[in-house]
Structure formats: C-alpha cells, structure tokens
Structure 1
Amino acid sequence: MSIETEAPERKARDRHQLRTLVLALTLLAGVLTVVLVTIGSATWLNRFWFLHYPLGFYVLAQGLIIFMIACCFWFVRAQERIDRARGETEEIG
C-alpha cells in the first residue's frame, strides 16, 4: 500500500522539479542572449552618449547588472508561484 501512495507523490515531485528546471534554463538562456547581444552591439552603442559616458560602456557597466538583478527577483517570484502550486512554501517567523 505504501507503493501506491508514493506514486502520485513522486509524479508531483517530478513535475515540480521539471517546472523548476525549465524556469531556470529559460532564465539562463534569456540572460545569456541579452548579455551576448549587448556585448556584440557595444561598439555601435558607443556612438551615443549617456551621462557623459559612451552608451555601450554604460550599458555594459551598469545596465546589465541592473538587468540581472531584476531577473533574479523575477526568478524568485516565479519560483514562489511554482512552490505555492505544490504547497511547499515555508513560512518564516
């Protein structure tokens, strides 16, 4: 009887792990794409200026960091939704 009750739990756990993996790989692919496109277009962006700096330099120095931090916050929010759907959130306090 124990085996019968473990099967649905295993399916739910596998589904949760798959959704988490897909989320992580999607975010990683998106971030890498943005970084590579930005690096590739930096020389073209350097023709424009922002705050007395070439735009390509500014985007590489500041913009990508801000973008990656925003992606981290988005990832946490999306992961919380996945965890809540399975009922695995932990309350602190």
Structure 2
Amino acid sequence: MANIRTIYTYIHAAMERQGYDHVHLLIGALKVSSAKFHGWKAGRTKISDADVIKLAELAGMDPHLAVIDAAIWRAEGKPHYKILVETAEIIQSAA
C-alpha cells in the first residue's frame, strides 16, 4: 500500500521546518481560521487543494503529492478511494 501521508505529517513537518513552537504561528502563516485548522486536525472538515499546497510548501514537501494525499483523505469511504490510493502507489513506485 502507498505511503499516504496524513494531515499530521504535513503539520508536524511545517512546524519543524518553520521553527514554530505553537500552532497559532502556523495558522497565521496559512491565513486560515483557528476553527478551520482544528477542523482539519479533528477530521471534521477536509483541507482544500489550495490550503494543502500552502501547508506542503511551508513543510518543504512536494505540493503535487500533497494534492493527491488530500484527495485521498477527502475520498475516504467513497467508491473512488481505491483508485486514488492505487494512483498514489503508481506515482510513488515511479519515483
């Protein structure tokens, strides 16, 4: 199975790379509300492509893969979830 990164992977990497000691600094850098950010972390809401790209850039991670990861998170429990996971596996095996 593909190594699917979680929202926590991106958050922790961004915090570390930017040297932030509090999530509010990351929330400010992302220019999102605290409620929106905590909704992502709790799984109540799913991150948009634009926001995951910003998060990936702050984390020093590939924004292309971040968009795929976010699509997988949003598709969980839906029929196309398996297709997205398989797509991620193909991309990762080619890298």
Q: Normalising by structure 1, what TM-score?
A: 0.30
Q: Between Structure 1 and Structure 2, which shows a larger proportion of helix residues?
A: 1
Q: Normalising by structure 2, what TM-score?
A: 0.29
Q: Between Structure 1 and Structure 2, which shows a larger proportion of strand residues?
A: 1
Larger Rg: 1
Q: Which structure is higher in RCO with an 8 Å CA cutoff and minimum separation 6?
A: 2
